[in-house]
RNA sequence: GCUGUUGUAGCUCAGGGGUAGAGCACUUCCUUGGUAAGGAAGAGGUCGUGAGUUCAAUUCUCAUCAACAGCUCCA
């Protein structure tokens, strides 16, 4: 007999070799019908695998992340089985579960697959699922594994097997389909009640762009049709928040082929919103001891040769432009830091002067790959809320912590709570991608890890994500469709001070090298605003929103009073517009609601007579009538406190 | 950059070898209406661009540009 410990601490005895599924059955049949996999001693395994010794056990169902992942992984196998049935000879790459569903990379040997084919595949998958095919695990020798896939003529699986150790190779089969797989899997295909194949895309084999591009099919499955329908509704809702759609609808920004790809045009409403954000940060920065500087949009090529950026990113920059007479080369500036280094050098610095903090809303230009351009989140011309802090080595941590505080202040002011702080360190394997001494890298990495811990940030560590000159702390957020973006960033840099030979005179009257910290709380205004739009679904907080108040006269008889109200609001620095169209009040309200205007003021005979306004709040409805001065106070209070929309 | 899909009016989209349609928006007129669409009339498009096939191309073919999804990249 063996002792099984449950999550609640209860211990029960079972015969050796019992499976998680058996245990579930011993508790209740209903539970057994829901068990997808099991976590035994912290490791997720098939619910049907025998447990050979004392163990802790957690039964995994659809409500567990690992349970979902197991079902989606099994769904990938089910899709593969269906693919093999419909497209004999198809070759398989990898087919993992992902955050929302699964995919399988396949090679169709030049055959193409369309959206209609996906519908047929779904039907086939549903048909196979209904047969309750059992997933069976089998350990195989490396030789047997190679023999199987050689006969099957699947070069991708053979390549995967080549990298595996003999003795650790397992196959999983269900129905007529067998795959190289570590598992685990759900007991049988019958758990899969609803299937949706979402889209087709290309993906390089093993993520290397030198390899062949395979066809990737994304899909998702659920234990009931109802849950699938709910998921699809959720996706539709998310699409409505897309900043590209809302940016157009709310007239914030636009693109023009004629202007150029990835070069956003800020329309009046968007430009004003952007300036308010900029002013908000500028104020906070000046209070925190930053010194505003301004530098030109171009810089001599030699500036970037010195910084090392030309060598590293020259090909990803707009190519140098030449002066007509002398042929001197200039680049559109891809970053502000080299300029700021030169500003540092304009006067000798004492250790007493440090830290020096130069801040600039600097517009930079980078040649981003065509296929990467994406709304405002990935563009070729954008404005960084950049600053460079030059400090003594002993000040690095304190400065770093202060920057974290500033970033958190900005995020809190906009109710951004759902972010992760990503600590980006060097690639453990390949150090050749980085410049600078090991000693400095270690110092910098340590400073970041300690600061993040001290500030209690929810962090993830990513190796290989550091910049070539130093480690970073990036604030990552997700957009409406679940794509991850980097917003704020803080980076420690020992390299540029070296390359630009920056110095300060220490207490010992000798020259020393300052340390540089690059930082941008927004990251770029473009990307930040994109994420902000999706975050609030276009309903900006009152202090940011383009039009705060729309005044809606019942009929044009009340226009004079309407104008008087508008004048009073304007004097109170409230952004108000009048809807003076010859339309019924219902229509004016409807359109103001759809335009997400926070406050609507309905004015007619009663209001004009009493000197009042009838206040309506977007999505909330009628708030009743108020004195104009009272309404102004409401608005001003909401603005000063930077309240979120709702 | 790579793979796939798409490109028709300002916006959202239908259509299809015989040179175009809807709704919203826009203009004019009627209506002066109290909390999510009042009525009527009108104007608006070289069907992304270039070539080819055809008596005839917006429709078919090829190229090209752009957008979208994903991959790769991201100072």
Tokens of A444: 């910098």
pLDDT the model gives residue A428: 81
Establish whether A366 is a catalytic residue: yes
Establish whether A301 is a catalytic residue: no
Give me the residues paired with residue A60 across strands: A37
Task: Name the residue among A573, A578, A598 with its Cα closest to residue A588.
Answer: A578
A460 touches strand B (CB under 7 A): no
Residues 313-342 of A with CB under 7 A from strand B: 313, 316-317, 334-335, 337
A255 touches strand B (CB under 7 A): yes
Domain boundaries, chain A: 2-61, 66-238, 274-295+351-535, 549-640
Binning chain A into helix, strand and coil, the percentages to the nearest 5 are: 40, 30, 35
Separation in Å: B9 C1' and A250 CA: 21
Query: What is the CATH code for A66-238?
Result: 3.30.980.10
pLDDT the model gives residue A12: 92
Strand B nucleotides, any atom under 7 Å from protein beta carbons: they are 1-5, 11-12, 26, 30-38, 65-75
- Give the length of chain A: 646
Q: How far is CA A223 from CA A28, A106, A229, in A?
A: 19, 25, 11
Q: How far is CA A219 from CA A105, A157, A179, A193, A386, in A?
A: 12, 21, 18, 14, 40
Q: At what angle do helices A268-287 and A396-413 cross, to 10 degrees?
A: 140
End-to-end alpha-carbon separation of chain A, Å? 59
The domain defined by A549-640 folds into Rossmann fold (3.40.50)
The residue annotated as part of the active site, out of A179, A386, A474, A493, is A386
CA-based angle A397:A399:A400, to the nearest 5?
Answer: 60
Which nucleotide is closest to the Cα of A215 by its C1'? B3
pLDDT the model gives residue A429: 80
Euclidean distance between CA atoms A50 and A59, whole angstroms: 14
pLDDT the model gives residue A157: 95
A590 touches strand B (CB under 7 A): yes
A453 touches strand B (CB under 7 A): no
* DSSP secondary structure letters along A329-397: EEEE-S-SHHHHHHHHTTS--BTTT--EEEEEEEEEE----GGG-BTTTB-SEEEEEEEEEEE-GGGHH
Separation in Å: B52 C1' and A111 CA: 27
Q: Could you give the count of Cα atoms lying within 13 Å of A299 in the half-sphere of its Cβ?
A: 26
Establish whether A472 is a catalytic residue: yes
CA-based angle A383:A386:A389, to the nearest 5?
Answer: 170
pLDDT the model gives residue A591: 94
Task: Name the residue among A181, A185, A175 with its Cα closest to residue A75.
Answer: A185
pLDDT the model gives residue A493: 92
Q: Any idea which residue has 């800020």 for tokens?
A: A266
Asked whether the beta carbons of A389 and A402 are under 8 A apart, the reply is no
Residues 186-225 of A with CB under 7 A from strand B: 199-204, 207-209, 213, 215-216
Separation in Å: B64 C1' and A533 CA: 35
The secondary structure element, H or E, covering residue A459 is strand A459-463
Establish whether A405 is a catalytic residue: no
Separation in Å: B46 C1' and A257 CA: 19
A238 touches strand B (CB under 7 A): no
Establish whether A384 is a catalytic residue: yes
Asked whether the beta carbons of A488 and A523 are under 8 A apart, the reply is yes
Establish whether A386 is a catalytic residue: yes
Euclidean distance between CA atoms A105 and A157, whole angstroms: 11
Which nucleotide is closest to the Cα of A203 by its C1'? B71
Query: What is the CATH code for A274-295+351-535?
Result: 3.30.930.10
Q: Any idea which residue has 């400065």 for tokens?
A: A399
Asked whether the beta carbons of A511 and A539 are under 8 A apart, the reply is no
Establish whether A491 is a catalytic residue: no
Alpha helices in A153-267 (DSSP H): 155-162, 225-240, 243-249
Task: Name the residue among A587, A522, A577 with its Cα closest to residue A554.
Answer: A587
ipTM over 0.90: yes
Let me know if the fold of A2-61 is the same as that of A274-295+351-535.
no
Q: Any idea which residue has 């109710």 for tokens?
A: A415
Which nucleotide is closest to the Cα of A336 by its C1'? B75
Name the CA dihedral angle for A267, A270, A275, A281, rounded to a multiple of 10 degrees: -150
Which residues neighbour A491 within 8 Å (Cβ) at sequence distance 6 or greater? Answer: A467, A469, A470, A471, A472, A473, A517, A518, A519
Tokens of A105: 């990379």
pLDDT the model gives residue A618: 96
Separation in Å: B19 C1' and A265 CA: 36
Residues 50-79 of A with CB under 7 A from strand B: none
Query: What is the CATH code for A2-61?
Result: 3.10.20.30
φ, ψ at A458 (rounded to 5°): -80, 105
pLDDT the model gives residue A424: 94
pLDDT the model gives residue A180: 96
Q: Is A145 left (phi over 0), alpha (psi -120 to 50) or beta?
A: alpha
Asked whether the beta carbons of A479 and A535 are under 8 A apart, the reply is no
pLDDT the model gives residue A435: 84
The residue ranges of chain A whose pLDDT is under 50 are: none
Asked whether the beta carbons of A518 and A469 are under 8 A apart, the reply is no
């Amino acid at each position: 007999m063996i002792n099984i410990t449950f999550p609640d601490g209860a211990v029960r005895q079972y015969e050796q070799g019992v499976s998680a599924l058996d245990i579930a059955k011993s508790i209740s049949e209903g539970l057994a019908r829901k068990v997808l996999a099991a976590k035994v001693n912290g490791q997720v395994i098939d619910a049907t695998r025998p447990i050979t010794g004392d163990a802790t056990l957690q039964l995994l169902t659809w409500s567990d992340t690992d349970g979902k992942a197991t079902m989606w992984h099994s769904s990938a196998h089910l899709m593969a089985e269906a693919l093999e049935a419909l497209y004999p000879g198809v070759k398989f790459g990898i087919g993992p579960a992902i955050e929302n569903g699964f995919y399988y990379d396949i090679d169709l040997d030049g055959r193409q697959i369309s959206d209609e084919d996906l519908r047929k595949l779904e039907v086939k998958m549903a048909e196979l699922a209904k047969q309750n095919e059992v997933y069976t695990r089998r350990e195989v020798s490396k030789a047997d594994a190679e023999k199987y896939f050689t006969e099957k003529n699947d070069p991708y699986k053979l390549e995967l097997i080549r990298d595996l150790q003999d003795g650790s190779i397992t196959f999983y089969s269900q129905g007529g389909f067998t795959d190289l797989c570590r598992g685990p899997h759900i007991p049988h295909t019958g758990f899969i009640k609803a299937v949706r194949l979402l889209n087709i895309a290309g993906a390089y084999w093993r993520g290397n762009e030198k390899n062949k591009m395979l066809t990737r099919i994304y899909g998702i499955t659920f234990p009931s049709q109802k849950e699938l329908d709910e998921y699809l509704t959720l996706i539709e809702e998310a699409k409505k928040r897309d900043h590209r759609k809302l940016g157009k609808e709310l007239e914030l920004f636009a693109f023009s082929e004629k202007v150029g790809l990835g070069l956003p045009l800020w329309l009046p409403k968007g430009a004003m919103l952007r300036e308010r954000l900029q002013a908000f940060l500028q104020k906070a920065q000046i209070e925190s001891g930053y010194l505003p500087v301004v530098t030109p949009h171009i810089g001599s090529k030699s500036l970037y040769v010195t910084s090392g950026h030309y060598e590293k990113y020259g090909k990803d920059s707009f190519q140098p432009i030449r002066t007509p007479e002398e042929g001197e080369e200039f680049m559109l500036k891809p970053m502000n830091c080299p300029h700021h280094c030169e500003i540092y050098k304009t006067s000798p610095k004492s250790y007493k002067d440090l830290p020096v903090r130069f801040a600039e809303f600097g517009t930079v230009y980078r040649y981003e790959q065509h296929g990467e351009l994406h709304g405002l989140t990935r563009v070729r011309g954008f404005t960084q809320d950049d600053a460079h802090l030059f400090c003594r080595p002993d000040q690095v941590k304190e400065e770093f912590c202060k920057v974290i505080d500033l970033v958190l202040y900005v995020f809190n002011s906009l109710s951004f709570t759902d972010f992760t702080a990503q600590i980006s360190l060097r690639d453990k394997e390949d150090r050749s991608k980085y410049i600078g001494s090991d000693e400095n890298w270690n110092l910098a990495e340590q400073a970041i890890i300690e600061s993040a811990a001290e500030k209690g940030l929810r962090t993830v560590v990513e190796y290989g994500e550091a910049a070539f000159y130093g480690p970073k702390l990036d604030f990552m957020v997700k957009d409406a469709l679940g794509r991850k973006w980097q917003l704020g960033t803080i980076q420690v840099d020992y390299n540029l001070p070296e390359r630009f030979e920056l110095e300060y005179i220490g207490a010992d009257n000798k020259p020393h090298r300052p340390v540089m910290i690059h930082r941008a709380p927004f990251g770029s205004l473009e990307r930040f605003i994109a994420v902000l739009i999706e975050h609030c679904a276009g309903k900006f907080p009152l202090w940011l929103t383009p039009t705060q108040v729309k005044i809606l006269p019942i009929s044009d008889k009340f226009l004079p009073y309407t104008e008087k109200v508008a004048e009073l609001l304007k004097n109170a620095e409230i952004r108000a517009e009048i809807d003076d169209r010859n339309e019924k009040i219902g229509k004016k309200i409807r359109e103001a609601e759809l335009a997400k205007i926070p406050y609507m003021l309905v004015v007619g005979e009663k209001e004009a007579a009493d000197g009042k306004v009838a206040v309506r709040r977007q999505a909330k409805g009628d708030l009743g009538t108020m004195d104009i001065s009272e309404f102004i106070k409401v608005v001003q209070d909401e603005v000063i406190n930077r309240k979120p929309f709702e």
